[in-house]
Structure 1
Amino acid sequence: MKVVLIMMGLLVVIATALPLLRFNQWWIRIFDFPRGQITVAGIVLLALYLYFWDPYRIYESVVLGLLVLALGYQLVKMFPYTVLMPKQVLAAESRSDDARLSLLVANVLMDNREAEAFLAIVRKYDPDMILTVETDQWWEQALRTLEEKYPHTLKNPLDNTYGMLVYSRLKLIDPEIRFILKDSIPSMHMQVQLPSGDRVFMHFVHPDPPNPKYATETTERDAEVLIVGREVEKRDKPTIIAGDFNDVAWSQTTNLFQKTSGLLDPRVGRGMYNSYNAKNPLLRWPLDHVFHSDHFKLVRMEKGPAWGSDHFPIFIELSLESGAEAAQEEPDTTPAEGDQVDEKIEDGKQQTDTH
């Protein structure tokens, strides 16, 4: 029994340590995802280990120490996404509807055919804008009824799980579909004008997942989100970046993205909002993100109900408020982190060129 516990404890330690390596192989980066699951497993193992632990055997004490360190590290990484952490985005104070913007983000799961269930979610939240990803031609046709209420659209349905559709009540200004690194993976960029007259920059992305079926390395995924982060870095205008990043909120890359872009994460101090996997309650983590500039405060954010996809939808409503920038501190990179961002972007471009 003790040998089994030692081996399982070392597995928890290894699963914790692997993401610390600066390698982009998918089988390393995938351990960024299940921090909650690794922590629960580690706590159970720790309790059993303490029961059988012989303090006079040095190797048992070493394994115990490593297990405690691993659990501590996992908890530190997840701590910002608990209610114990101060909120990074403050609650909205303004009651003006004219300066508010609401967005529904949904990965529909391309082979899913529960379009009516999704339309019911749209009716429930009644957002100003809708972003759907993994949308093919079938989904484009199934969601055409939305255009009665959302006449402004930007569409790129694809049958490779990277299709993207945008529906908006607000007029889209300079809408553009870009293929940042791969011709098969679109991203969408635009401005919208609020009823108050203020303009907001919107960027929607859905890069490769760390999965050998799609990408054996995360190099291009990381580069794509960091390129968009660099684009908005010095903008100092209301900005929102959203989508299925195929990366978790607490990963090194997402942390670099947030610091580079200077955008805020409304989940900090509120919760994880685990959007994947809706079909497996034991394997859930936050993959679908909405980051925004410090011009906004939060009205509300919700994880929607399960409806047929393997992702839960994410709904957010933001309020553009005067003085919000002074009340909220935007993140920033250190010089070393800036160099790391440059390196990741260059690696992504080089890898794309070799394809």
Structure 2
Amino acid sequence: MASQHNRARRPILSWRNVERVALIFLWLVILVVSAAGYWGRDEWQLDILSNFKMQYYLGALILCVIAAWRSFRVIFFLGLALLLWNGVEVFNFAPQSVDPEPRVYRAISANVYTGNNQVDRTVAWIRQQEPDFVALIEITAEWEDDLDALEDIFPYQRKQMWGGRYGAIVLSKYPPTAQGAALGYAGVGSVPMEVMTPDGPLIVLLIHPLSPTNERSWNYRSNALASIAEFAQANADRAPMLVMGDMNTTPWSPFYRDFVSQSELHPVVTSFLPRRTWPTRNPLLWIPIDHFFLSNGLGPITQWTGPDLGSDHYPIGLDFCFVAQSK
């Protein structure tokens, strides 16, 4: 009788229990990192964690698949809760677009990376896209001569250089109006340019706050976003505004949400799936940190991510038009 009882008992260190403990540990890790970003205003490391919601979603999906396969029902439903939680933030359940007006404008934004020497590929791709406006970030002195070759289609430009590297330039088919003051530092290359289009004046604003790789640059980036939001709000009644560039944050960061609220700009969201814009060489870390924003008076038609042009960022494109503002 005793021997039968001993045979019926399962050993504590069975392989199934090891699997169960491992999956519970994985669930706890995903839970912690998923929640950490909500306190991102307090610590720069927590803000960094807020940017990887797509990875947390995939981790929860893998957890659910394994739990279902191994018949761990409780762990499956716990993983499903994480999956739904992150999925609500990752996917765009209300993509927006407007019907094209008679005149459609195209904008291109690209962080070309200071170490990228494949200028010809970028210039050729820009010509192929036939945009009306181009924002290039992290250009160097070596890029300037090559960009002069685009003067036949972009006769107007506004540029700022910081020490021969980390320059930023806006190229336009349309002539500039009286230009206001630049934004000063406000990140590594924030460049405003007001132009006169066939539909009226338009403010094109290139943005590039610092990458938050430490506490000091995190503070610089956060202050830059606040300055850019203040600029956008102050010029809201002057002309419609197109904002584009490398924001160095994702839609899941609290600073992104603060920027949208303070600037009164509208994020361009035209598809259900999130876009990948950085880094080009590691798909496991793909996150959307390059963005378009539109003010009232402009409407998005479609946006897309371009090919690898030798940078660590993918370029992004947007078709948009002027729309009548509701009173």
Question: TM range, normalised to the smaller chain?
Answer: 0.7 to 0.9
Matched, 1:109 2:113: yes
Q: 1:142 is paired with a residue of what secondary structure?
A: helix
Distance 1:33 1:306 in 2: 22
Matched, 1:153 2:157: yes
Partner of 1:38: 56
Contact 1:24–1:217, Cα closer than 8 Å, also in 2: no
1:264–1:204 CA distance, 2 compared to 1 (3 A): same
Contact 1:297–1:318, Cα closer than 8 Å, also in 2: yes
Partner of 2:198: 195
CA RMSD of the aligned region, Å?
A: 2.5
Unaligned runs of 5+ in 2: 1-18
Partner of 2:240: 238
Q: Give the drift of 1:269.
A: 4.3
Distance 1:271 1:7 in 2: 29
1:210–1:283 CA distance, 2 compared to 1 (3 A): same
Alignment of structure 1 residues 79-98 onto 2, 5 Å = 79-80=91-92, 85-92=93-100, 94-95=101-102, 97=103
Partner of 1:276: 278
Contact 1:303–1:313, Cα closer than 8 Å, also in 2: yes
Matched, 1:306 2:324: no
Partner of 1:289: 291
Distance 1:181 1:319 in 2: 28
Q: 1:233 is paired with a residue of what secondary structure?
A: helix
Contact 2:160–2:191, Cα closer than 8 Å, also in 1: no
Listed one character per residue, the Cα deviations across residues 156-184 of structure 1 (whole Å, up to 9, x for unaligned) are 234586321222111122064332456xx
Partner of 2:125: 121
Contact 2:96–2:300, Cα closer than 8 Å, also in 1: no
Q: Give the drift of 1:283.
A: 2.0
Q: In the comparison of the two structures, how many residue pairs are matched?
A: 306
Partner of 1:341: none
Contact 2:270–2:300, Cα closer than 8 Å, also in 1: no
Contact 2:277–2:315, Cα closer than 8 Å, also in 1: yes
Q: Give the drift of 1:153.
A: 1.5
Identity %: 23
Distance 1:154 1:68 in 2: 50
Q: Give the drift of 1:134.
A: 1.1
Distance 1:310 1:13 in 2: 30
Distance 1:109 1:200 in 2: 27
TM-score (norm 1): 0.78
Partner of 1:337: none
Distance 1:118 1:202 in 2: 21
TM-score (norm 2): 0.84
Unaligned runs of 5+ in 1: 56-60, 328-355
1:187–1:181 CA distance, 2 compared to 1 (3 A): closer
Matched, 1:211 2:213: yes
Listed one character per residue, the Cα deviations across residues 96-147 of structure 1 (whole Å, up to 9, x for unaligned) are x3xx432110000110111111011111111111111111111223322122
Q: 2:301 is paired with a residue of what secondary structure?
A: strand
Distance 2:309 2:210 in 1: 24
Matched, 1:8 2:26: yes
